[in-house]
Amino acid sequence: MDYRELIKKAEEAREKAYVPYSNFKVGAAVLTEKGEFFTGCNIENASYGATNCAERTAIFKAVSEGEKNIKAIAIVSSSGDFTYPCGICRQVIAEFMRDGEIILGNSKGEYRIYKTEEILPFAFTGQDIK
């Protein structure tokens, strides 16, 4: 898989971020098993708890369009460094891409690739409820 295209889409999404409080822009792009792309940016809110991360925005857009099997997600931020998903996003990633890949990009054009299990070992899943 060519991760550059996915990272480019995440970079484009990052520019749409609404971040009047932190000024920390994050963009994400997911690739589904059907080869479709969905993007998202972080969207802040004055009440902070209503803020939504870029990763969840992209995943929720895919799911709301009927795409529940995600192969990969790329994440970039305005920090210039690698930005890892927060805990809530890791849990959502585990729900929709158990065997997926998380690609983190930085401003130097480098990227790191992780499997979902690497960023959230022993994830709580629907199987745990049964």
Does 41 belong to an annotated binding site?
A: no
Catalytic residue among 55, 95, 110, 117: 55
b/e for 106-125, b at 16 or more Cβ within 10 A?
beeeebeeeebeebbeeeee
Alpha helices in 50-115 (DSSP H): 54-64, 87-96
Q: Is position 28 annotated in a ligand binding site?
A: no
Supply the angle between the helices 87-96 and 54-64 in degrees, to the nearest 10: 30
Q: Is 48 annotated as a binding residue?
A: yes
Q: Is 42 annotated as a binding residue?
A: yes
In whole angstroms, what is the distance from residue 52 CA to residue 69 CA?
A: 21
Instruction: Please return the burial class of 82, using the count of CB atoms within 10 Å of its CB with bins 0-12, 13-18 and 19+.
Output: middle
The reply to whether 101 belongs to the active site is no
Catalytic residues: 55
Annotated binding residues for Zn(2+), written as ranges, equal: 53, 86, 89
**Which residues contribute to the annotated binding site?**
42-48, 53, 86, 89
**Binding site residue list for substrate:** 42-48
